[in-house]
Structures are given as C-alpha cells and as structure tokens.
Structure 1
Amino acid sequence: MIRVDGERLWSDLMTMAAIGATANGGSYRTALSDADRDGRNLFVHWAKEAGLTVTIDKIGNVFARRSGIDDNLPPVMMGSHLDTQAPGGKFDGVLGVLAGLEVVRTLDRAGARTRRPIEVVNWTNEEGARFPPGVVGSNLFAGRTTLETLLATRDRAGILMGDELKRIGYAGEAEVGQRPVDSYVELHIEQGPVLEAAGIQIGAVTHTSYQGGGIIEILGENGHSQTTRMSKRRNALVGAAKIVQEIEEIGMAQEPHGMVSATVIDIWPNNRINIPHKAVVQFLAVHAEAGGRDDILASIEQLVEKVGQEHRLSMSFSRNPQRHRFDFPSELVELTEQVASQLGFTSMRLPTWTAHDALNMHVVCPTALIFVPCRDGISHSEFEWCEPGHAKAGADVLANMVYERAQRAAD
C-alpha cells in the first residue's frame, strides 16, 4: 500500500496558508485576487519542481500532468481549489490540491509508473466568494456553461472576471474541457460534524443533497428619512428584514433534514438620509429530499407575497437553477471503503450537503469524493481545522485509489 509523506503534506498546507494569512489563523485568497495569484504561482512552482507538465486553460484552471506509460489514455484526475472564502480557512479545497501534489511525489519516490497519466488540478473560482455563483472552472470544463458568460461575470466592485484572469497572468490558451477523462477523485474536509462525532477517519461519499436558492426583489418608495410621515413610508428594508427573519424560521423547522438562510442583502440608495426604496435578498437552501427542498422554496414564495401585502411593497421572486441529487458510482464508493480498510482506517458512508467540483465532473467521468473530519464541522471560517493525521489518512486513501485507477488498461 502507498503511504504519502504526511510531514511534507502538512508543511505544504501551512506554507500555502501563509499566503493571504489572517490574524485569526485563516486564509483570504478570493478568486483571481493577488493572493490567489500568489497561491497559484506557488502550486505551479511545486508542480514543475516535481517534474510535472503544467497547462493553463482559458478560464484559468491549472493542470499539472504526470505522464503515463501510455500517455494517449485518458488521465486520472485529482484536485480541488486554492481560492478561499472571505475569509476562509487553511483546508477547504486546499487539502485536495496539495494532497494530489504529494501523491505524485510519493509515486516518484517509489519509482512507480502508471499506465495512465495522472493530473492534479486547481479549479478556478470554486468558492464564488468574489465572482458568484462558484464552481465555475469545473462547470465550464463539464460543458455546463460558456466561456463568454464566465469572462463577463463581475464582482461587487464591477470588475470583470476576464480582466482579472489577464491581470494575474492566468488567462491560459488551452481550450476548457473537450477531452476525455478516465475518472476524478477529490479529497475534502467533511464540512460537517458527522465523522468527528463518530470517531471515523474516512468518509466515502455516496450522494449529494437537493439544493436550491433564489432572489427576492423588494420595491418601496424613496423618501427623506427625517420628513416622510411614518404612516406614508414604504420602506423596502423593513420588508427585507421581515423576510430574512422568517426565512430563518423556515430553516429551523426543517432541521435536521434541511436548512435555509438569507445570505446576501443589497439596498438602495444605502445612505442614512433616505428611506430605502429597493432591496434585494438572496437565499440558499439544501435538503435531503426533493420534496423538502421544494417545500422550502414554496414557503418562501408565499412569505414574499404576504410581506408585500402587509407593508405595501412590490415584490418579485425568482428561483435559481436547482441542483438535484445524484449518486456517486458504487464501484468508487466501494473502492474508497476497500482502500481505507486495507490501510487500517475506519470509514463510513455519508452524503455531501454542499457543492464541490466533483459534482460537475460527474457528467464528464466517474467521480469519487473522499471526506476527512474537521473540528466541530466548521468550514468557510478562519477557525476551520483538520488534524495532521486526518489529512495524511485522506491523502493515503487518495493515493491508492488514484494509483489503482491509473493502472487500468484501455476500456
């Protein structure tokens, strides 16, 4: 069985964490920022140092390739993302990329050749913290959106994604996707408390949840905040506040099978003198069952109508594209469990509640998602933490799964 160098992996994780380091111990590397550029540069340096061939595509996805004995066979891919939330932690996404890099180093140290090539990938803008909606690099690779759409996406300051790709030097020349991939394996912290509470080292992810979201636009009437009579006010922010509070109550009623919260609010004109005449609220929902997700959306739509009538506000409600459940291939779930057992690790099956690049890649090739515990289930936070032993265990499982897949003959 293959065992990675856990100390080297941990050193890489802590070195990457120093780029965009925050005072509370997290990392701040939003997509296509200077810090993201520096993190990418470090990954590229390490990849070339390991003898890998680096290719950058037109959306900035970075592929580090280890040649196979038959280099014409579709590659086995592993990876995740280096961009973070604002701020985020040291492990979300980063573990999957740097563990992949350590896997190929380990194979080199052992002199182990593989029939198929292996690629380690850093996907662009997985988090969506700066350029919504997120998981865009893998989304485009899978053919689920267009390059033109993504390059025209703007952040909250109005800056184009395409311009930032050029500015940081990651507007590559390679076409995005349009090539066969044998399989994709992603290692990630769980982002939940299940593994830690159970004392289990490895999670074999079996399926996804049902995800949904939407945008609520609230129109009131502009007015002077010091002169307009209270009885005449049509304050869009009041309507937004009511909606935010009641969405939270809808979410509480769904626990433990589902959840929903308002996550973004914008108001106009957003100054202290004027009564807000427009507010836009965005929310995100997830549920274990399709009916539960649909009930959440229906409840929010009814809520919007009620609040509009009560406060004399004009309302509009639109649903974002919904994500439906899919099941990861049983042979890869079983391979995760088998490898974990052979390595002496405990494992269990569990779903993923949130989106990952693996969810896009499943339309391209068979995919697997490996979870390791994170402290208190905390993620998207400066206080996110993964024990060194858990990081190494996940990387060991990743190494053996990828090695087995990469030794397969042509189909």
Structure 2
Amino acid sequence: MTASLPPIDAERLWSDLMTMGAIGETAGGGSFRPALSDADREARALFRFWARQAGLTVTTDAIGNIFARREGTDPNLPPVVIGSHLDTQMPGGKFDGVLGVLAGLAVVRALNEGDIRTRHAIEIVDWTNEEGARFQPGVMGSAVFAGKLPLEEALSRVDPEGKVLGQELDRTGQAGAMPVGGRALHRYLELHIEQGPELESSGTDIAAVSRTSFMCSGYVTVNGENGHTQTTPMSARRNALTAAARLILAIDEIGAAEEPLGMVSASTITNWPNNRVNIPHRTELSYAVVHMEEDGRRRIMDRIEAAVRQIAQETGLEIDLQHRHFRDAFDFSPELRSAVRETADGLGLSSCELPTLTAHDALSMQELCPTALIFVPCRDGVSHSEREWAEPEHVAKGAEVLLYTAAREAGLA
C-alpha cells in the first residue's frame, strides 16, 4: 500500500452527502433529481462550487459530463479518473452514484491537506444521465465519452413529456464546450453502494467487483382496437391492456425462475387512450434482462418471445417485441481488483470479490482503460428507493480505500 496519507475527513464527506441529498429531497427521505431537471442543475452547481473550493479546474463537455481536475506533476501523463453520477431515480436515495462523486472530492481534499502531489492528474467526473430514469438509455454520458453511443443520438433522446435532451442541456446550462471523449485515461475508479445484501450479511467492509452480467432491454407494443367500455360486448373487445397484463405476469414468472443468477420484470407501461370509458387500443411496456450467464440471458429472451407468440395467438392481437441495448459480461482488471483488496487489507478492512448484476459508468470506462468498481455495504441491499441507506462508517471506509488506490495509481511525485 502507498505510504501513509492524511485521513479522509469522514465528517465532511457525510455532511456533503446529506447536503447533496437535500437537493430534491423527498418526504420519504430520498432524493428526486432526474437528469437535467432543475434539481440536477442545482446539484451540479454545488459540485462545481465544492470542486473549485478544492482548487480544481472544472470543465464540461458537450453531453454535460463535468470534470474537475487536480493537476499532476507530469502534464504528459493521462489522468486517473474518479467518479459516478449525481442524478437519481424518480425517486431515489442519497447514495447511489452520489457517493462515487463526493468521495472523489474527499480524496482530493485529503491530498491537498497533506500537500501531496501525484504524477498523474486526478479528475473527478459527474457523468450525465447515468440512471436513465428520464432519458433512455441510462449510463449515457459515459457511453458517449467511450464512443459507445453517438453524441447526436444521445442529444436527440426525448423524455416522457416530449422534452429533448439536447434542449434540456441548453435550458439548464449544462451543455459544455469541450468535445466528448477522444482522450487517453490512465485508470478509472468508481466507489458505489453494493445494491445487494452480500456485504452487509457477511459483515464485509469492501468488495472489489470482479465481473459484470449479460444484459438487454425489451420493448413490447400491443395493438388492439378502440371502443366504448360501457357498450362494447365483452366477447367483441380487443383490449391491448388486457393482453399486456397477461404478458407482464408471464415475464415476472420467467424472471422468478432464473433467480438468483438472473432476473426480469416489466417495469414501464404506457397505455392509450388511458381513458376510463375507452378500451385501450395500444399499450407499450418495457423490461430489463440481467443474467450472469449468456445462456441464461438467451433463455429469458426465448421464453418471453414464446409468451408473446402464445398471447398474440390466444387474443388475436398484434404484439411487437424488440430486444435492444445488449451488453455482454466482462471481467474487471485483475490488477486493480488486487490493488483494492491489498489496500483494504493494509487499512485493516475485510474485503472480498463480488460480481455485479447492474450497470454502472465503470462498464463504459472499462473499454478505455483499466477500471475498478468498489462496493460498500448498504442497508438490506436496497437501492433505487427512498429507503436506500449506507452507514457513515461504511462510507468513510470506502473513501479511504478509494484514496489509497487513487494515490497508488496516480503515483506519488
């Protein structure tokens, strides 16, 4: 482990988390900051303020990703990037994504406190629209940065209210002048709550994430026929919502059969005309497939496709299904996983390796440079919820591991 460094200011980090969480705070104790909302703009402004307070140079690129840079002693070396996101689910909690950004600030403050220089620059990044709660797909800002999603395609995305992402970037002042991506990175480090129960149940402090899952998204459109709900005979109805309901239940049963290695549930639904006295003539729904094995993902897709065919045949309705946004599993850097665990051990913390079922910005960055995703426990494994919670001690331990890992990878001058 790198020589002794000044400690993380755990009280300041916790205060920052609670202060950021108050922006868009909900009655249930969570946060509501969809990407490029007014609340997200306020959170980003606070991050910029804190970053400049810490002596960092702040820039923003064309998709709205914010980079706060602490210069290294060798300007020719690519940076070590630490980050995650400040946008939340609708509603979400105070830790998902936010911990990774604010722990990065805590790392920089500790290095500043000790007047410690690094050879590589260190940059903290807030990626735009990681959650995908308002604009789809998620993990957007990092995907554009990594060249996985064209900028113009991302800028053209529309939210459920018909607002265009590029226009919302302009409205909120989040569109920057810097080009997106196209530059070398040395390492990418992301600290995150586990979003699962393993660390808490085992009493383990830290996980170095070993592997990701196989993922895809499904989009279904059911076409029925409009009619009066109070006059059309039941036997003559072609109700799109009824067929969609049958499919939703089938999808849930398919997901339950694959647990714990995989899962799927329908998660969105839009219905037309959505009028109490009109039979729905069009219903759309979507779902996300995750599985630790490629064959498992294929099995889930095949079973859903079979259910679609059966329900279409039995109802006589047209049902269109598309599977998109495929992401294959990969292993994170063995070298960085070892570095994370060695660092934890040197700090007297327990550690393990865990896979992740969920998507993170680290999945995009893995294609650009060696990447580490670090987990800390969260209460009952709950996330994407107002009940999401991490204990102050776990937050501080994760930030300490992040500090020493970042210093090691950036190289002390």
For 1:53, the equivalent position in structure 2 comes to 57
For 1:373, the equivalent position in structure 2 comes to 377
Aligned-residue sequence identity (percent) comes to 57
The structural deviation recorded for 1:147 is 1.2
Indicate if the aligned counterparts of 1:213 and 1:297 stay in contact, CA closer than 8 A.
no
For 1:211, the equivalent position in structure 2 comes to 215
Write out aligned runs for 1:219-368 (5 A).
219-368=223-372
For 2:33, the equivalent position in structure 1 comes to 29
Q: State the number of aligned residues.
A: 409
Normalising by structure 1, we get a TM-score of: 0.98
In structure 2, what residue type is equivalent to 1:43?
A: F
Correspondence 1:43 to 2:47 = yes
SS of equivalent residue, structure 1 residue 316: strand
Indicate if the aligned counterparts of 1:217 and 1:278 stay in contact, CA closer than 8 A.
yes
For 2:66, the equivalent position in structure 1 comes to 62
Indicate if the aligned counterparts of 1:60 and 1:165 stay in contact, CA closer than 8 A.
yes
The structural deviation recorded for 1:196 is 0.4
The structural deviation recorded for 1:321 is 2.4
SS of equivalent residue, structure 1 residue 325: coil
Indicate if the aligned counterparts of 2:208 and 2:337 stay in contact, CA closer than 8 A.
yes
Alpha-carbon distance between aligned partners in 2 of 1:394 and 1:60, rounded to the nearest angstrom: 27
For 2:130, the equivalent position in structure 1 comes to 126
SS of equivalent residue, structure 1 residue 127: coil
Runs ≥4 in structure 1, deviation > 2 angstroms? none
For 2:81, the equivalent position in structure 1 comes to 77
Which of 147, 157, 162 is the equivalent residue of 1:158?
A: 162
For 1:342-394, what per-residue CA distance to the aligned partner results, in whole angstroms no more than 9, with x for missing partners?
Answer: 00000011001100000000111110000000000000000100000000000
For 1:18, the equivalent position in structure 2 comes to 22
For 1:144-191, what per-residue CA distance to the aligned partner results, in whole angstroms no more than 9, with x for missing partners?
Answer: 111111111110000011111111111100000010000100000000
In structure 1, what residue type is equivalent to 2:165?
A: M
Which of 394, 397, 406 is the equivalent residue of 1:393?
A: 397
Indicate if the aligned counterparts of 2:116 and 2:412 stay in contact, CA closer than 8 A.
no
Correspondence 1:90 to 2:117 = no
In structure 1, what residue type is equivalent to 2:108?
A: V
Indicate if the aligned counterparts of 1:126 and 1:134 stay in contact, CA closer than 8 A.
yes
Correspondence 1:382 to 2:378 = no
The structural deviation recorded for 1:285 is 1.2
For 1:82-133, what per-residue CA distance to the aligned partner results, in whole angstroms no more than 9, with x for missing partners?
Answer: 0000000000000000000010010000111000100000000000111111
Give me the CA root mean square deviation.
0.9
In structure 1, what residue type is equivalent to 2:389?
A: W
SS of equivalent residue, structure 2 residue 219: strand
In structure 2, what residue type is equivalent to 1:309?
A: Q
For 1:277-312, what per-residue CA distance to the aligned partner results, in whole angstroms no more than 9, with x for missing partners?
Answer: 111110111111110111000000000000011111
Normalising by structure 2, we get a TM-score of: 0.98
For 1:293-341, what per-residue CA distance to the aligned partner results, in whole angstroms no more than 9, with x for missing partners?
Answer: 1100000000000001111111111111211100001000100100000
SS of equivalent residue, structure 1 residue 399: helix
Alpha-carbon distance between aligned partners in 2 of 1:171 and 1:333, rounded to the nearest angstrom: 35
Indicate if the aligned counterparts of 2:79 and 2:185 stay in contact, CA closer than 8 A.
yes
